[in-house]
Amino acid sequence: MFIVDEKNREYRLGDHGPKYLMQGPRMNFAIVQFMPGQDFRAHYHKVMEENFYILEGSVTIVVDGAAHELSRGQFIHIEPREVHYVINRSPAVMRMASSLAPYRESDKYEVDNPSV
């Protein structure tokens, strides 16, 4: 058992990106934040499945070329090998919880960002 306080962790890219509260041994758990216009490269995982739960704001998540507009309280599950791309097209900060399982230290394969 362990307890982590989010305020003691930092976002990977300063004010945005993932803030990992746990990495392994069986799953990752992070809070992800994007300012308006921010995104991350499209990618997929061969083994890990990924989940996002929107905590604040709204976000566009493109999965295998189909754009999905999600807002606070919505959840999306992404299967292994599904290419996904996330962008905050709204004028407000977006925060979401993210989990990846089963944990693999290296299971991210970047692809060209979709034009959706």
Residue 76 burial (CB < 10 Å; 0-12/13-18/19+)?
middle
Q: Is the pTM value of this prediction over 0.85?
A: yes
pLDDT in tens, 54-95: 999 999 999 999 999 999 999 999 999 999 999 999 999 999
pLDDT in tens, 2-37: 999 999 999 999 999 999 999 999 999 999 999 999
